[in-house]
Chains A and B, each alone.
Chain A
Amino acid sequence: MSAAPDHTPTIAQASLSQRLAPYAPVLLVIGLMALGLMAIPSTSSWLTLTVSGLAMGMMIFIMASGLTLVFGLMDVINFGHGAFVSVGAFVGVSFLLLLENMTGAPSLALNLTAMFVAILGAMAATALMGWAFEKVIVKPVYGHHLKQILVTMGGLIVVEQLIIVLWGPEEIYITRPEALKGAVTFFGAAIEKYRLVAVGIGAVVFLAMRWVLRSTKIGLIVRAGVENGEMVQALGYRLRLVFVGVFLAGSALAGLGGVLWGLYQEVITAHMGNQSMILIFIVVIIGGLGSVEGCFIGALLVGLLQNYVAFLEPKLALISNIGLMVAILMWRPMGMIPVVKAK
């Protein structure tokens, strides 16, 4: 009988790719920007496109963040999320039209105050609507995905029709507040002022959400609830109340996104929320269902790619996001930052 081979355990050091894996999504954003820089002939165009891509990404993130948490926390698929985007836009724009003397004045302070009021109004309206939507439409269909899809779709249609009843069937054209019109020149690149505002608001929302989720007890309950709701309840927390709160906050954020998106497009329609749902779903899926960070990075990728491709090869712009989703899901089938689910 031959002797057993010597036992020489080796502890392999994690390879570079293993150590980089957690940061891969962030590197992907940087990589995409670098790729854009190489592909786009002039640096100033690249800068313009990058800021515009980031602005678009931030707005998609604001609209999508609520949806990903609602899904993560209670396994609810809300196809009606777009309704909050539309309602937010209409309420916000109505406020802006009322405050015309403030938005028309060439004073940045007055303009921003008017926007702030419009955003607050839109968020209050959509939060209230979210509360009613959850109670009437979502609550009866907990645990039934197919019913959720059907009934929330129905809710979206009802809300769209209500908007037409209240505001009329025509799209509403709006102009941005006076001081936010036009562009600033930066290293030879023309950058629309409004996009800088959108990037700023998006960054603030993301950092605030991160802070709440990481540093407050309610944030801990939400994160733990996404992972294992049953255990959170067994500790004594009323997850149902937390969920209603998250639904409400998510709706309010969608409303905020609606105002920003409307001012970005300078036109609002009752169907704008429904149309934005495709981008929102792409972002939520590639980010990893339930992951706020994933949603943020996914939104930036979508915004950047759409802008770069639309500049380089306009015909491909339409499929670029679907292509991105396919590529990311082939790489990480559960999304870029998958949420660990108990079970």
Chain B
Amino acid sequence: MSDPILALSGVKTNIAQYHILQGVDLSVPRGQVTMLLGRNGVGKTTTLRTIIGHWRAHQGTILFDGEDISRLPTPAIARLGIGFVPEDMGIFADLTVEENMILAAVSGPINSARLDWLFTVFPALKTFWKKDAGTLSGGQKQMLTIARAMIEERRLYLIDEPTKGLAPAIIATMARALRELKDQGASILLVEQNFSVARALGDSANVMDDGRMTWSGDMKELATNAELQERLMGLSLETHQ
């Protein structure tokens, strides 16, 4: 893969005395959706948190568009053009939906054309615009957190399990939104446990186990090879929807 937007090599991250990432190599090509897969607790979330700088890599390099960001503070990393959607959504519950969005527009006032587009993707946001974000349902909160990352154009999106715990109808909305984002040419690194979403969106896939990358390749190849899935993740993705 030539000139990826994000490249991790040999990244090791310790949290307290635990060695969570034990040398992660990962390449995220431009304009594609890169899936990060694996069982629970293998280090997927830690990988994303290390990229955004919430955890520090104590070894290895993280190149974003050729620049090493592994020593930069989180706000500087974000301002290079990386949008982060954490697993716990990171919604500001005491703020209204509107205030959440105003905050997310870091570089200035909200671009109204882009907001209108987001309203068509997530109509619920318009309905609850003036409501406290804490009063939204789980699915609406997830829509808000994705919309928050999308309100300004970013060069790379790190999205951690956006469909976790959501009803099927909302998962479809979420998948459509991510597809639109992809169609706009964004690069996305996506942690996802829902197989149909992964198969529908993913271009390439990376499978982790025990703090290391155990397989990297084409998403299609992984999706069609049940034996490979069984070997890499201890279960077939088909049974894990």
Contact = CB atoms under 8 A, between A and B. Distances in A.
Interface of A: 217, 220-221, 223-224, 227-228, 230-239, 339-340, 342
A340 B78 contact: no
28 contacts: A217-B102, A220-B99, A220-B103, A223-B92, A223-B94, A224-B99, A224-B100, A224-B103, A227-B93, A231-B86, A231-B92, A232-B103, A233-B74, A233-B78, A234-B52, A234-B74, A234-B78, A234-B84, A235-B78, A235-B104, A235-B148, A236-B75, A237-B75, A237-B103, A238-B73, A238-B75, A340-B94, A340-B134
B79 interface: yes
Nearest to B92: A224
A235 B77 CA distance: 9
Nearest to B54: A230
A339 B94 CA distance: 8
Given A223-B95, A224-B95, A340-B134, A234 B102 contact: no
A217 B107 CA distance: 12
B207 to A, nearest CB: 26
Nearest to B79: A236
Nearest to A233: B74
B90 interface: yes
A232 B103 CA distance: 8
A184 to B, nearest CB: 41
A305 B46 CA distance: 51
- Top 10 nearest A-B pairs by Cβ distance? A231-B90, A236-B78, A233-B74, A236-B106, A224-B92, A234-B84, A236-B79, A238-B75, A340-B93, A233-B75
Given A217-B103, A220-B99, A340-B134, A234 B90 contact: yes
Interface string B71-114: 00111001100001010101011110001101110100000000
A227 B52 contact: no
Contacts of B148: 235
A223 B94 CA distance: 8
Contacts of A339: 94
A239 B86 CA distance: 18
B88 A220 contact: no
Contacts of A237: 75, 103, 106
A220 B52 contact: no
A239 B93 contact: no
A342 B88 contact: yes
Interface in B167-183: none
Given A224-B99, A228-B92, 8 more contacts: A227-B92, A227-B95, A228-B90, A230-B54, A231-B90, A234-B90, A235-B106, A339-B94
A228 B75 CA distance: 14
Contacts of B86: 231, 234
Interface string B134-153: 10000000000000100000
Contacts of A235: 78, 103-104, 106, 148
Contacts of B84: 234
B152 to A, nearest CB: 9
A71 B100 CA distance: 22
Contacts of B104: 235
B145 to A, nearest CB: 9
Residue of B52, B88, B92, B94 with most chain A CB atoms under a 10 A cut-off: B92
A230 B90 CA distance: 8
A190 B11 CA distance: 73
A239 B76 CA distance: 11
A239 B74 CA distance: 10
